[in-house]
Structure 1
Amino acid sequence: MKKVLLAGLLSCLIAGQASAEQLDQDVALGMASLMICTTFYAEHDMQIEGSIVGQSAMAHRGAGIEDMVMSKETSDALDLYMKNFQAANKQQQVKICEAAITFARESEFVKAS
């Protein structure tokens, strides 16, 4: 799952141009949570929640998140986030994904773009 997430999130982020805007760590982790939880909700047949995080992930992509550059520190934080999600039990993963829904509703990234 990590490889799929990182491939999707990092494909353009690390390969961005030197003049590209730096990706904020909170936004990167929020986007990762959207991607992870889209899969989590689909696997657990939670269609409403999956729709919320999936639409937000697409809106973030449309707002240019994939054109931004990620720092080493942000990349390390993503690795830790993935490890924590994978180590969590289902109940803990539900709580993590509740935070993804909050991010989806409150993210200023899409609103500011």
Structure 2
Amino acid sequence: MKKLLIAGLLSCAVAGQASAENLDQETALGMASLMICTTFYAEHDMQIEGVIVGQSMMSHKNAGIEDMIMSKETSQALDQYMKNFQAANKEQQIKICDGAIKFARESTFVKVPE
């Protein structure tokens, strides 16, 4: 599952790209939470929450998150996040996904035109 997530999150994650920016850990984990929780909400027929995280996920993708580079430390944090989510029961997963909604509302990665 991590390979799928990383492929979706960072299709251009090649360390040799000089022009690409580094993806900070908080944003990487936030984007991962958006991706995971979009699926979680769809599977549990939680449409409003799914729309919130789904729209935010697409906004982040359109803002260029896929062109950024992920460090080894961020990759390890992503591994741990995935393990925690998979080991959690449904109630715990809902609490984890509350973090995705918070990230969707508070992320500064996507710049809103003034």
Alignment of 1:96-111 (within 5 A): 96-111=96-111
For structure 1, which segment, 16-25 or 76-85, has the greater mean C-alpha deviation from structure 2 after superposition?
16-25
Output the aligned Cα RMSD: 1.5
Deviation at 1:9, TM superposition (A): 1.2
State the one-letter code of the partner of 1:97. Answer: C
Q: Percent identity?
A: 79
CA distance in 2, matches of 1:7, 1:61: 12
Q: Is the partner of 1:111 in helix, strand or coil?
A: coil
1:15 aligns with 2:11: no
Count how many residue pairs are aligned between Structure 1 and Structure 2.
112
Deviation at 1:112, TM superposition (A): 6.8
Partner of 2:18, secondary structure, is coil
What is aligned with 1:28?
28
**Runs of at least 5 residues in structure 1 that lack an aligned partner in the other structure:** none
Distance 2:55 2:8 in 1: 15
Task: Give 1:4 shift.
Answer: 2.4
- TM-score, normalised via structure 2 length: 0.92
Task: After the TM superposition, list the runs of 4 or more consecutive aligned residues in structure 1 that deviate by more than 6 angstroms.
Answer: none
Cα distance change, pair 50–81 in 1 and its aligned pair in 2 (3 A): same
Match of 1:81 in 2: 81
Task: Return 5+ residue gaps in structure 2 as ranges.
Answer: none
C-alpha distance in 1 between matches for 2:98 and 2:63: 23
CA distance in 1, matches of 2:71, 2:2: 18
* More helix by percentage: 1
CA-to-partner distance for each residue in 1:62-88, whole Å, 9 max, x for gaps?
A: 111011111010011101100000000
Shift of 1:5: 1.7
Equivalent residue letter for 2:14: A
